[in-house]
Amino acid sequence: MTDPLLRLSNITKSFGAVRALKGVSLELLPGEVHALVGENGAGKSTLIKIITGAHQPDGGTIQIDGEAVTHLKPASAHAFGIATIYQQPALFPDLSVIENIAIALEKPSGTRLVRWDDRHARAVELLRRVGAEIEPETEVRRLSMPQQQLVEIARALGAGARILLMDEPTASLTGQEVDLLFALMRGLRANGVAIIYISHRLQEIFQIADRVTVLRDGETVGTRLIGSSQPKEAAIPGKTIAPPESDTFTHAELIHLMVGREVSALFPPAENKPGPQAFSVRDLGCRAAGIQGVSFNIRAGEILGLAGLVGAGRTELARVLFGITPADSGSIELGGKRLEVSSPRDAVAAGLAYLPEDRRRHGVILEMSIAANITMAILARLFPQNWMRFGTERALAQNYIRDLGIKTMSPETRVGALSGGNQQKVALARWLATAPKMLILDEPTQGVDVGAKAEIHKLIRQLAAQGMAVLMISSELPEILGMSDRIAVMRAGKITAIFDGAGADARTVMAAALGKQSNETSGFN
Amino acid sequence: MKHKEFFRFETMLVCVLGLEILIFNKTGTNFGTQGNMFEVLRLSTEIGLLALVMTPVIITGGIDLSVGSMLGLCAVVMGKLWRDAGMPPMLAAGCTLVLGAAGGGLNALLITRLNLPPLIVTLGSFSLFRGLAEALTRGVDNFTNFPKSYLFLGQGYLFGVVPAQLPIFAAVSVAIWLLVHRTTYGRSFRAIGFSPEGARYAGIPVRKRLALAYILSGFVSALAALVYVARVGQAKADAGTGYELLAITAVVLGGASIFGGTGSVHSTLLGVLALAVLKIGLTLSDQPGELAGILTGALLLAVLTVEAVARKVSARPLRHSSAVKGI
Amino acid sequence: MKATAHLLILSLFLLGLAGCGKPDRGSEAKTAGGKQITVAVMPKSKGNAYFISCKKGADEAARELNVKLLWDGPTDPDPARQNEIVETWITRGVDVIAAAVENREGISTALRKAREKGIKVITWDSDAQPDARDFLINQATPEGIGFTLMDEAASVLGGKGQFAIITASLTAANMNEWQKYIEQRRAEKYPDIKMAVLRPCDDLKDKAFSEATAILNANPEVKLLMAICSPAVPGASEAVKQSGRKDVKVVGLGLPNDNKRYVRDGITPSVILWNTENLGYLTVQAAVAVAKGELKPGVTNFKGGRLGQLEVKGDNVLLGKPFIFNKDNIEQFNF
Amino acid sequence: MALGALLLVLALLAPGFFRGGQLLSICSTVIPVLLVACGISLVIISRQIDISVGSQFAFCSILAGLLIQAHWPMPLAALAAIGAGACCGAFNGALIAGLGLPSIVVTLATMVTWREGLRWWRQGEFVHDLPETFQWFGLGQAGGQTAVLFITALVFTIMVLGTKYLSAGRFVYAVGSDAEAARLAGIRPHVVTFGVFVIMGALTGLAALLNAVRFNDVDPRTGTGLELQSIAAAVVGGVAISGGRGSLWGVLAGVLLLACIAPALVFLRLPPQWEKALQGGIILLAVTADGWRTVRASRSSLS
């Protein structure tokens, strides 16, 4: 039987008082895709950081090729052929794509001479392999999120990795790109590369993974073999690990393992009856954001899902609506009133709310308390004379902590200390506090664990039920399909189609999102 | 947690200050006298004012290097308006304050409209303001013989004991304390300091708030200039040279993070006092002025080191990412 | 927790006030009589070599008379700092303050305050307002300096041509004074001589050097550089030397030691200065005399230690004429 | 480009400005600033800052002077000066990289400490009567100047090449661009930062030396304000204060531009008191222009 490339035995790691890992064990065989799942805060990312040598474990042993390894550092991890694709791309915004790829691949010794033409050639080659049309000279900060992801993947490919760690690589990718990625992964697997794959999108796991290890509260709950169509010789020894009855292994079971409880229906039923016309946009355009001739309307209590590939202009549209990049043509009406939105401030005043895509940078302020974050958007309204009244603030915060079930000791806790799901709830609470008429949600459940996901979905429904108009951007087609009353699809800065929620299915929506080549939809099943 | 950190920092400062006082009480002639206590406050008024107003700026993650030069410029303008333009002192003072605010406005404009780093902008205006001051006076001009009524502001004593500028100092302290700790503005400053983008997405008028901080800084610098002129009894282009660094030192000594977000006005005041007491105490102990400089530097490093080590011990990782914002 | 912090801050002020309980010891420290006299002498800037050599003399006198000498001042010329130091000396309670004034009006207020508090005040090197001090130790009158400089310049230029002035800073009070008299003399006696440019060197030798070079290149017709602050003289001389211009000379106010080599190789025909050590020496001597009441208004001469009898003109104690150092005599001096 | 403008004005109004002597003298006055500015640029690119260089500069000059006075052989003294600079830099680096203290504060503190310490020690006295072997390395003026120019040119070239073709040089950019990403790429950011500050110090030491040898005595207050000069030069030269971006050629231009102002005033017969104002104006203009460009460029994705 093939020996595991990598064996972790009861790894422990604490940050201050927090015990992130309480004894995690994991075996990684050559040529397998090994999914790693668990709720946020379960310790997935910490585990990754330990394998890449970014963190040192407090206890437990790491074995690579059966050799015990101590003091794994990023540098030595490279040497062992460990490469990583992080959730937030770990790139150098000011440097060219060429250099970003090069620095990751070259030995990190300061005394080497730099051969620019070699670097260039390699960059071109790798970018071709990941099928990215990116000019290698461009500075990375000029690239879009998915483009940056592709650069990261190119890096990993170039590293000729034997062990490839992927921490939510698809977080900001859409169907087409995901399929491309999976194709790449299968190719690597065939060459005996072992892949650790982290994702919150369970269907992806069933689609690509051979085995799945579930973490909960920093402990290994179990490792299961995934019964799936691909033949996998490499994984057969894995059978000895996984108990036979787990051969037929379902979403439900997996979720059960993750949360330790049954999550009934992921998507709450739509019990709301959409009301009168609330929000309408007439051929909105913004050159800077690459938006043109966008028209749609949302009725009170209606959820309009906004689908499309990343880069189709969905987030850009949201930013235009919210006045972050003001529109230069077209009109926005809310409750029959025409709005002049030239800054987020105007938008808030007018009764718009925007839950941004990048929670950590835009959604919340990590260093500030929950209370401060919640009242941030309504300071002026809450304290018209500009005098803070901390009692009022605290009370308000506590209400939302209760209503949204934010898990925390006190409203004074730094948001940065919360789990992703709870952070997202705080971000949402901030906007609910403004009592908006129109709520724009951008990837509301991105990087949020299954449990919290369900709660947030339920919440969105309630809000709609209360008569709020909701525009929900999501790259997770199931979410779009499950939540939306109607679905708008964007492509290249335009709205290409609007479906009735009932009449839409993955195929039609993707077709609209992709334009012609509508066969590329296997990403959603 | 933030509060805890502050608490630790303030305690440390208080101890330092207490220690200084005790030592100088022994070594210094007439140090522990009531007269000297007031003298300390009196002589630290200008720096104090600058440090006070530097605090909100640093909390927004910015910095204002131009305050010293602004003081010089305003001093000169005060003189010109009063002597050459023949304005009554009060009117001249008023105009000077307006000019100060305007100068701050220039900084604010460049920083907010062109998103230029404050360090650079104020480095430029640092030279510009000083340069204008010298140009206005051709360097040599020197305004003096201000009317007694005005000089009282800097040299007089209320009830024979309380220096006349003390009420101003106190008033500004309270005002800025309230601004930073008790108003939504202060809250916005912190938000901006921690994450300008986050603040913007939350609908906070980032540019307006930043502008406020820098305009205020210019305004209070002008006020400091008025006090300075009244105390020294003369206005010359080189007034307040190097004050900006002293002010920043005081603020940082007060535990404000140069990266923005954290910082408190009362700690800044502690910092100001610590420096002033050190300087005056040493002179009263017949020590040369250089020693004060050396100790200031050493003190700053010591306090920071202790704080950093303490943080390392309590295992809260340093914020690598934010290492830009400050500088 | 904040509250606790605030309490601590409060307690601190209490601590301070505890100190205030004590009576003001200012008065008793000043009862000169038997106990040692404290003389506080303030240079314009401690950094300046000129004042350093003054300090040598001051120390000597202090030893001689067995008085406590406090020598402190701004590290670079800074009127505000001078005031602060005087204020602090007032609090400390010294017997005499002798100040070399950077800014006349600025410091006068502080000095008056000192006199109100019963502290004797004299000025030296450069004067404050007359009502702010008892005596001025006058190393040389501004016109004395201005005229001598101009005369030297004229004799070097042979009565006609252009010259340039390098000063410390555009804000230095006494230098502006000297320039006034230089100009006056020029206008009166040497109409054929023209002042081409005036440049500041921030009391820094390097700056003086580059300024001088720039001047030479910009105004080839300038045949003489007049450096009126002590770091500027060697700076300018070096510039001339390196420019290789044999036709350009330097005169100025400077210390012998800085300039010996230039005087030797003739770039700098003459350096003008009074004996700085004696100036410092006399200052302390006079200060003590004032404190003891030996030197009081009305006296016409007084015994300045090893300097012997010195003339007292009104409230000016005169050190003597400015001294001209040149090839023949400079080697005898070492300061 | 601003430099070009200034030079043009000069060419029209004061051709004398371009006489060899003047240019040479500008060069020799520029040299210290240039070297220090190069160091500062590295520091800024690595997303730090150093305002203690002026004090280090003075310290190194005095040290060199004293050692020569103590009859050390010139090369040894030179090495000592550079070494001393490196040590000062190392001290800053240790506190900044080691303890993660903010560089602006650390160097603010060291700036005051070195400067005042030097004053306390020297009481502002010059170092006098240096042997002939000191000035211009005893090569005589012409020889000395060429030597100094040559050394500077050499160092500058090495720096330029190093930042482009030496991986260590690239690491500086990488760390300045994103320290965490660099760490994950196997680079050790604190080592890089530390190294940068050591280089900064060494360059300061060298600059101090090359500056000192122009004279036959050493002024302890030399180098005052050097920090702001060099930072200004770097910024005018287009080094991004946010780290990760900037080229030494730009810095060269920046240094020259600022260095030309003072002499230019003399040549254009402008009153000296405008010098500071002009400098400030130019700095603001330069950054404003830069600001415009970036604002226009990134109108779409406002960072």
Segment D155-200, tens digit of pLDDT: 999 999 999 999 899 999 999 998 888 888 888 899 999 999 999 9
- Considering the domain architecture, whether residues A475 and A498 belong to the same structural domain is answered as yes
Specify the higher pLDDT residue, B103 or C81: B103
Q: Which residues of C touch B26 (CB under 8 A)?
A: none
Is residue C66 packed enough to be buried (19+ CB in 10 Å), middle (13-18) or exposed (0-12)? exposed
Distance from CA of C35 to the nearest CA of D (A): 30
**Which residues have a Cβ under 8 Å from the Cβ of C324 and sit 6 or more positions away?**
C148, C152, C270, C271, C272
- Considering the domain architecture, whether residues C48 and C65 belong to the same structural domain is answered as yes
Q: Which residues of A touch D164 (CB under 8 A)?
A: 114
pTM of the entire predicted model:
0.82
Would you list which residues of chain D are within 8 Å, Cβ to Cβ, of chain A?
A: 164-171, 173-174, 176-178, 180-188, 192, 195, 240, 243-245, 299-300, 302-303
Select the residue of A344, A354, A368 nearest B191 (Cβ to Cβ).
A368
Q: Which residues of C touch B280 (CB under 8 A)?
A: 88, 91
- Considering the domain architecture, whether residues C94 and C149 belong to the same structural domain is answered as no
Q: Could you give the 3-state DSSP secondary structure of residue A55?
A: coil
- Considering the domain architecture, whether residues A307 and A172 belong to the same structural domain is answered as no
Q: What is the per-residue pLDDT for A188?
A: 83
Q: Is residue C329 part of a domain?
A: no
- CA quadruple C220, C223, C226, C232: dihedral positive or negative? positive
Q: Which residues of D touch A141 (CB under 8 A)?
A: 303
Q: Is residue C291 part of a domain?
A: yes
Residue A72 to residue A241: CA distance in whole angstroms:
27
- Considering the domain architecture, whether residues A314 and A459 belong to the same structural domain is answered as yes
Q: pLDDT digits over A382-409, tens only?
A: 898 889 899 999 999 999 999 888 888 8
H/E element, A469: strand A469-473
- The residue among A274, A236, A310, A265 whose CA lies nearest residue A482 is A265
Is the pLDDT at C272 greater than 60? The verdict is yes
Report which listed range, A260-264, B104-108, C49-53, C172-176, is most confident.
B104-108
Q: What is the per-residue pLDDT for A472?
A: 94
Q: pLDDT digits over B233-263, tens only?
A: 888 888 888 899 899 999 998 888 888 888 9
- Considering the domain architecture, whether residues A194 and A253 belong to the same structural domain is answered as yes
| C25 near B CB under 8 A | yes
Q: B20-34, B76-90, D36-50: which range is least confident on average?
A: B20-34
* Closest residue in chain D to residue B136, using alpha carbons only: D273
- Considering the domain architecture, whether residues C205 and C290 belong to the same structural domain is answered as no
Q: What is the per-residue pLDDT for A469?
A: 93
Q: Is residue C303 part of a domain?
A: yes
Select the residue of A73, A94, A325 nearest D173 (Cβ to Cβ).
A94
The answer to whether C16 contacts B21, with C-beta atoms less than 8 Å apart, is yes
Q: Could you give the 3-state DSSP secondary structure of residue D51?
A: coil
The answer to whether A364 contacts B198, with C-beta atoms less than 8 Å apart, is yes
Bridge partners (DSSP) of residue C167 are C200
Q: pLDDT digits over A337-391, tens only?
A: 898 888 999 999 999 999 998 888 899 999 999 999 999 999 988 898 889 899 9
Specify the higher pLDDT residue, B124 or D296: B124
Q: pLDDT digits over D188-234, tens only?
A: 899 999 999 999 999 999 999 988 888 777 888 788 788 888 988 89
Distance from CA of D217 to the nearest CA of C (A): 8
Q: pLDDT digits over A476-497, tens only?
A: 777 888 889 899 999 888 898 8
* Mean pLDDT of chain B, nearest integer: 86
* Mean pLDDT of chain D, nearest integer: 84
Q: What is the per-residue pLDDT for B201?
A: 92
Q: Is residue C332 part of a domain?
A: no
Q: Which residues of C touch D116 (CB under 8 A)?
A: 75
Can you tell me the mean pLDDT for A444-463? 84
| CA A485 to chain CA centroid, nearest Å | 23
Q: Which residues of B touch A20 (CB under 8 A)?
A: none
Q: Which residues of D touch C49 (CB under 8 A)?
A: 124-126
Last residue of a domain, one of A418, A434, A450: A434
pLDDT confidence bin for D287, thresholds 50/70/90? confident
Q: Could you give the 3-state DSSP secondary structure of residue A54?
A: coil
Find which of B4, B201, B324 to mutate to test the A interface (most A CBs within 10 Å of its CB).
B201
Q: What percent of chain D has pLDDT over 70?
A: 89
Can you tell me the mean pLDDT for A305-312? 80
CB atoms within 10 A of CB A402: 9
- The residue among C115, C70, C80, C120 whose CA lies nearest residue C286 is C120
- Considering the domain architecture, whether residues C287 and C313 belong to the same structural domain is answered as yes
Select the residue of A348, A366, A417 nearest B203 (Cβ to Cβ).
A348
The answer to whether B139 contacts C1, with C-beta atoms less than 8 Å apart, is no
The answer to whether D167 contacts A86, with C-beta atoms less than 8 Å apart, is no
Q: What is the per-residue pLDDT for A247?
A: 47
The answer to whether C52 contacts D124, with C-beta atoms less than 8 Å apart, is yes
Number of domains comprising chain C: 2
| D146 near C CB under 8 A | no
Q: Is residue C18 part of a domain?
A: no
Q: Which residues of C touch D212 (CB under 8 A)?
A: none
Can you tell me the mean pLDDT for D18-27? 68
Distance from CA of B82 to the nearest CA of D (A): 22
| A264 near B CB under 8 A | no
- Considering the domain architecture, whether residues A362 and A306 belong to the same structural domain is answered as no
* Mean pLDDT of chain A, nearest integer: 82
CB atoms within 10 A of CB A31: 19
Find which of B4, B14, B294 to mutate to test the C interface (most C CBs within 10 Å of its CB).
B14
Q: What is the per-residue pLDDT for C14?
A: 52
Q: pLDDT digits over D245-256, tens only?
A: 888 998 998 888
Distance from CA of A103 to the nearest CA of D (A): 7
| C53 near B CB under 8 A | no
- Considering the domain architecture, whether residues C114 and C231 belong to the same structural domain is answered as no
Q: What is the per-residue pLDDT for A233?
A: 38
Q: What is the CATH number of the domain that holds C41?
A: 3.40.50.2300
Residues of C (183-242) whose Cβ lies below 8 Å from B: 200
H/E element, C235: helix C232-243
Is the pLDDT at A234 greater than 50? The verdict is no
Q: What is the CATH number of the domain that holds A280?
A: 3.40.50.300
The answer to whether A354 contacts B201, with C-beta atoms less than 8 Å apart, is yes
In which domain, by residue range, is A309 found?
275-351+436-516
Last residue of a domain, one of A235, A259, A283: A259
Q: Which chains touch A (3 or more CB pairs under 8 A)?
A: B, D
Residue B32 to residue B29: CA distance in whole angstroms:
8
Q: What percent of chain B has pLDDT over 90?
A: 46
- Considering the domain architecture, whether residues C152 and C301 belong to the same structural domain is answered as no
Q: Is residue A72 part of a domain?
A: yes
In which domain, by residue range, is C235 found?
142-273
Q: A13-22, A311-320, A434-443: which range is least confident on average?
A: A13-22
Q: What is the per-residue pLDDT for B317?
A: 42
| C169 near B CB under 8 A | yes
- Considering the domain architecture, whether residues A165 and A229 belong to the same structural domain is answered as yes
Select the residue of D47, D100, D277 nearest B131 (Cβ to Cβ).
D277
Q: Which residues of C touch B43 (CB under 8 A)?
A: 84, 87-88
Last residue of a domain, one of C273, C294, C309: C273
Q: Is residue A525 part of a domain?
A: no
| C206 near D CB under 8 A | yes
Distance from CA of D31 to the nearest CA of A (A): 28
Find which of A85, A92, A100, A144 to mutate to test the D interface (most D CBs within 10 Å of its CB).
A92
Distance from CA of B135 to the nearest CA of D (A): 5
Is the pLDDT at C294 greater than 70? The verdict is yes
Q: pLDDT digits over A59-87, tens only?
A: 888 888 888 888 788 878 878 888 888 77
Is residue A295 packed enough to be buried (19+ CB in 10 Å), middle (13-18) or exposed (0-12)? middle
Check if the interface score ipTM surpasses 0.95.
Answer: no
- Considering the domain architecture, whether residues C227 and C239 belong to the same structural domain is answered as yes
| D217 near C CB under 8 A | yes
Class of domain B42-308: mainly alpha
Only one residue has tokens 């170039």, namely A158
Bridge partners (DSSP) of residue A280 are A297, A333
Question: Are the beta carbons of D89 and D200 closer than 8 angstroms?
Answer: yes
pLDDT confidence bin for B106, thresholds 50/70/90? very high
pLDDT confidence bin for C13, thresholds 50/70/90? low
Q: Is residue C331 part of a domain?
A: no
Domains and CATH numbers, chain D: 20-282 (1.10.3470)
Q: What is the per-residue pLDDT for D12?
A: 63
Number of domains comprising chain A: 4
Residue C261 to residue C230: CA distance in whole angstroms:
15
Q: What is the per-residue pLDDT for B322?
A: 35
Last residue of a domain, one of A202, A224, A259: A259
- Considering the domain architecture, whether residues A67 and A131 belong to the same structural domain is answered as no
Q: Is residue A413 part of a domain?
A: yes
* Closest residue in chain C to residue B20, using alpha carbons only: C16
Strands (E), C105-233: 120-124, 135-138, 161-167, 193-200, 222-227
Residues of B (265-324) whose Cβ lies below 8 Å from A: 314-316
Q: What is the per-residue pLDDT for A31?
A: 87
Question: Are the beta carbons of A92 and D174 closer than 8 angstroms?
Answer: yes
Q: pLDDT digits over A115-144, tens only?
A: 888 899 989 988 888 777 888 888 888 887
Q: What is the per-residue pLDDT for D303?
A: 34
- Considering the domain architecture, whether residues A492 and A347 belong to the same structural domain is answered as yes
Is residue B113 packed enough to be buried (19+ CB in 10 Å), middle (13-18) or exposed (0-12)? middle
What is A195-247 written as a DSSP string? EEEE-S-HHHHHHH-SEEEEEETTEEEEEEE---SS--GGGHHHHHHS-GGGG
Is the pLDDT at A244 greater than 50? The verdict is no
The answer to whether D219 contacts C205, with C-beta atoms less than 8 Å apart, is yes
Find which of D163, D178, D198 to mutate to test the A interface (most A CBs within 10 Å of its CB).
D178
Q: Is residue A270 part of a domain?
A: no
* Mean pLDDT of chain C, nearest integer: 82
